[in-house]
């Protein structure tokens, strides 16, 4: 491998000749051999750095054009556009497990954009610190990148995925109107419900989750940029924070604003904790929905068997013909991961020391993993399972009429205690509710038929 010599305030460093990064990136690359190749800084954060560095150049050009010239702006913008498009990912090698402020990833972005910008300009025009990092600090850029990435992930990936499944459930509701089945509470027989009502519970849960996710986004649209090192805005010109938020909004097509209190923006991650809570709520509902579906599909002969789901792959290496609810299992495993990530996000957010949180990389790593995994799992679950759910109407009808909890309809006519006696006799002697009720003398056969209508109990 060929190398070139780069330098920083600590001296000279050998850097791979074919890479755009420079001395500070290389030092981090060599000093933090933790999770290399597996747990690098998320691509969403690199994308967000491309956005914010371009926005900073635009803002600097507006407030201090003598420093950020049109020529520099053009070169920076062109390089940032390549970062935003994901064309330069090989030049961002740093791992999550680095400095807690994300300083080295900020410098990685500065170095790559400067070197690529100089290449585009055909001249030594840009300096990583003086130009790409102008009016900024790692302490306000990294939290800004966190918020940009979080908003884009929730708005553009997670919410559309949830909405996809909501739409599938709406279709299934219409298809199953009037299909009456036994309800269940505590995994025990309960009073009747229509299958469309059961599905509506799933659908409504997800609709509530979308509402919660949308509520959590607004606080994330406040940006720390302009706070610089400790929140005072040192070295950032007046008006820079407002203009850079406007530029981020223009680039992303989303409405960002500058944070009113930069001291809070640098040290607190409460907005991310709140938003991840909404993500966890979505994961909790997906856990419940996936469990319901695999219970209802259990069988094919010895389980509930009230629905069928698509058969996607063989389920056993030894039992021929076995098919398992694998999409349900994938969703529930992702839900567990999201719940674990929630602990990491909360713990990381608690580690603000004076004017800076120093657990930011691990915080956003877990946050974005939750967004990515949950969104992808929901899409997979929808496309490979939910859209193919079919009601086994005969099984539902049989289970419904075999349920002892239908006796609840008799309460107004024979009373709770007599209804309980009817159930116990029917269960003990393996006879119908009608036979038990008539044998006990609580109702005549004719009266029982007059008042007992399971399909009307929903």
Q: Which of 394, 418, 443 is the last residue of a domain?
A: 394
Residues 311 and 451 in one domain: no
The answer to whether residue 256 is domain-embedded is yes
Query: Helix, strand, or coil here: 318?
Result: coil
Residues 259 and 372 in one domain: yes
Residues 448 and 347 in one domain: no
Number of domains in the chain: 3
Measured distance CA(115)–CA(104) in Å, rounded: 16
Q: Which of 69, 103, 134 is the last residue of a domain?
A: 134
The answer to whether residue 244 is domain-embedded is no
The residues that are catalytic are 186, 316
Candidates 435, 455, 402, 453; CA nearest to 422 is 435
The answer to whether residue 178 is domain-embedded is no
Phi-psi category of residue 299: left, alpha or beta, with phi > 0 → left and psi -120 to 50 → alpha: left
CATH no. for residue 227? 1.20.200.10
pLDDT tens over the chain, length 458 residues: 899 999 889 999 999 999 999 989 999 998 999 998 899 999 999 999 999 999 999 999 999 999 999 999 999 999 999 999 999 999 999 999 999 999 999 999 999 999 999 999 999 999 999 999 999 999 999 999 999 999 999 999 999 999 999 999 999 999 999 999 999 999 999 999 999 999 999 999 999 999 999 999 999 999 999 999 999 999 999 999 999 999 999 999 999 999 999 999 999 999 999 999 999 999 999 999 999 999 999 999 999 999 999 999 898 899 998 999 999 999 999 999 999 999 999 999 999 899 999 999 999 999 999 999 999 999 999 999 999 999 999 999 999 999 999 999 999 999 999 999 999 999 999 999 999 999 999 999 999 999 999 888 99
Residues 191 and 90 in one domain: no
Residues 344 and 387 in one domain: yes
Residues 410 and 373 in one domain: no
Using DSSP bridges, classify how beta strands 257-258 and 307-308 pair: parallel, antiparallel or unpaired. Answer: unpaired
Q: Which of 362, 394, 426 is the last residue of a domain?
A: 394
The answer to whether residue 56 is domain-embedded is yes
Residues 304 and 433 in one domain: no
Residues 19 and 41 in one domain: yes
Residues 416 and 348 in one domain: no
Backbone Cα Rg of the chain: 30
The answer to whether residue 179 is domain-embedded is no
Residues 317 and 232 in one domain: yes
Look up the domain containing 290 and give its range: 152-173+186-238+252-394
């Amino acid at each position: 491998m060929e190398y070139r010599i780069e330098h920083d305030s600590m001296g000279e460093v050998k850097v791979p000749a074919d890479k755009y990064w420079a001395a500070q990136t290389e030092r981090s690359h060599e000093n933090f051999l933790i999770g290399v190749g597996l747990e690098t800084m998320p691509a969403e954060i690199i994308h967000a750095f491309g956005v914010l560095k371009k926005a900073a150049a635009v803002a600097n050009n507006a407030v201090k054009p003598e420093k950020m010239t049109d020529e520099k702006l053009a070169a920076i913008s062109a390089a940032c556009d390549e970062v935003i498009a994901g064309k330069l990912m090989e030049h961002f090698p740093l791992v999550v497990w680095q400095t807690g402020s994300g300083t080295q990833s900020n410098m990685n972005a500065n170095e790559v954009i400067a070197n690529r910008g100089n290449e585009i300009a055909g001249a030594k025009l840009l300096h990583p610190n003086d130009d790409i990092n102008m009016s900024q600090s790692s302490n306000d850029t990294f939290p800004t990148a966190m918020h940009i990435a979080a908003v884009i992930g929730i708005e553009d990936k997670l919410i559309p995925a949830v909405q996809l499944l909501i739409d599938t459930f709406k279709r299934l509701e219409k298809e199953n109107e009037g299909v009456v089945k036994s309800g269940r509470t505590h995994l025990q027989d309960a009073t009747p419900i229509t299958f469309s009502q059961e599905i509506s519970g799933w659908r409504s849960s997800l609709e509530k989750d979308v509402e919660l996710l949308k509520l959590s986004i607004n606080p994330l649209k406040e940006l720390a940029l302009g706070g610089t090192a400790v929140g005072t805005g040192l070295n950032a010109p007046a008006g820079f924070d407002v203009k850079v938020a406007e530029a981020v909004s223009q680039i992303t097509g989303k409405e960002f604003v500058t944070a009113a209190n930069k001291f809070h923006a640098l040290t607190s991650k409460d907005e991310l904790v709140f938003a991840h809570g909404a993500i966890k709520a979505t994961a909790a509902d997906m856990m419940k929905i996936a469990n319901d579906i695999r219970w209802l599909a259990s069988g094919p002969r010895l389980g509930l068997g009230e629905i069928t789901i698509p058969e996607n792959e063989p389920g056993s290496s030894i039992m021929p013909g076995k098919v398992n609810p694998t999409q349900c299992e994938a969703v529930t495993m992702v839900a567990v991961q999201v719940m674990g990530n929630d602990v990491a996000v909360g713990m990381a957010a608690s580690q603000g020391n004076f004017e800076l949180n120093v657990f930011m990389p691990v915080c956003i790593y877990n946050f974005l993993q939750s967004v990515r995994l949950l969104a992808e799992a929901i899409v997979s679950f929808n496309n490979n399972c939910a859209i193919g759910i079919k009601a086994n109407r005969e099984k539902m009808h049989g289970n419904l009429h075999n349920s002892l909890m239908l006796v609840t309809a008799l309460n107004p006519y024979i009373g709770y205690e007599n209804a309980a006696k009817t159930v116990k006799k029917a269960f003990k002697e393996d006879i119908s509710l009608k036979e038990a009720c008539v044998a006990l003398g609580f109702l005549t056969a004719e009266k029982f038929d007059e008042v007992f209508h399971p399909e009307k109990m929903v």
